Amino acid sequence: MKRKPLLYTILFIELMVGLVLLYNFNYLVSAFKPKPLVTPEGVALSVEPTRPSIAVAQTQQAITQSLAAGDLSPAVLSVFAPLPAVANLPDQPLTDAMVNLGRMLFYEPRLSATQDMSCNTCHLLAQYGTDQLPVSIGHVGRPVTRNSPTVYNAAFQIAQFWDGRSPTVEEQAKVPILASGEMGMETLENVEVVLRSIPGYAQPFAEAFPVFEWRSYPVNR
Ligand code: HEC
């Protein structure tokens, strides 16, 4: 055999072997991994015992010690306390009329530019306050960049949004209405015009906010 064809044959065989190895890469890797230990009953045991981080271990130890001594501190206990029944504003007790109006607005598609999207489109109250999608679908069917967290109990959180960029639910509520990718309204003034044009809102607003003046009220001024 001449040298050139021999070289080509060797190269071809090497290429084939390489491709076969590449194709079976995952299988080969798993074949060399240590096998999980299995008890006689067939229950798999992890080879490496899982070690909790030092911080977690210390917290667990502190809680175990204070429980044993019967002196769980009020600070620790407050973390486990039930949530308050009502999320009142500091300077404004919540009334039934406010809750009713809030419910109407939450389901109001006319708060969106295309009049087809309400808060409940992405935070379905019947689905634990989420749309259960990898990312929410916004204005004119375009996906937004994040998924919708639940709105259940959101008022008790220390901040809103995944990055905490909004301090309160009152501040937060303006964002999706005006966000171009979400409900897409142009300005807050437009939102007011729309709400004022709907006769069905006159009474609920008057009952919820008897001394209502646009933007003089503590919520969303
Ligand atoms: C197009 C879908 C969509 C609509 C419509 C929408 N949201 Fe959201 N909402 C989201 C997404 C996505 C996030 C998370 C965004 C982020 O973290 O940047 C979010 C975040 C929130 C949060 C923060 C929750 C938390 O745990 O941080 C609240 C509260 C909320 N929305 C309430 C509302 C209200 C009230 C309305 C109606 C005025 C509304 N949303 C309309 C998709 C939507």
Reference 105, options 198, 210, 187, 34; nearest CA is 198
Distance 205 CA to ligand 1 centre (A): 23
**Whether residue 182 lies in the annotated active site:** yes
Confidence at residue 121, expressed as pLDDT on a 0 to 100 scale:
95
Cα dist. 78→35, 60, 72, 74, 84 in Å?
45, 17, 10, 6, 11
Mutate to test the pocket of ligand 1, among 119, 131, 148, 160 (most ligand atoms within 8 A of CB): 148
Atom of ligand 1 nearest to the CA of 182: 1
User: If you take atom 35 of ligand 1, which residue's CA is the nearest one?
Assistant: 173
Q: Which residue has the higher pLDDT, 46 or 191?
A: 191
Report, as an integer, the average pLDDT of 163-178: 88
pLDDT for the residue numbered 220? 46
Between 48 and 111, name the one with better pLDDT: 111
Tell me the whole-structure pTM to 2 decimals. Answer: 0.69
Domains of the chain: 51-81 (no CATH), 96-208 (1.10.760.10)
Within 6 A (CB) of ligand 1 lie 117, 119, 121-123, 136, 138, 144, 146-149, 151, 154, 157, 160-162, 169, 172-173, 176-177, 182-183
Q: Is 3 left (phi over 0), alpha (psi -120 to 50) or beta?
A: alpha
Lowest mean pLDDT among 23-37, 101-115, 171-185: 23-37
Work out the number of other CB atoms within 10 angstroms of the CB of residue 63: 12
Residue 105 has pLDDT above 90, yes or no: yes
pLDDT for 218 equals 43
Instruction: Tell which atom from ligand 1 comes closest to the C-alpha of 145.
Output: 12
Query: CA 205 → CA 73, 105, 107, 177, distances in Å?
Result: 45, 11, 15, 19
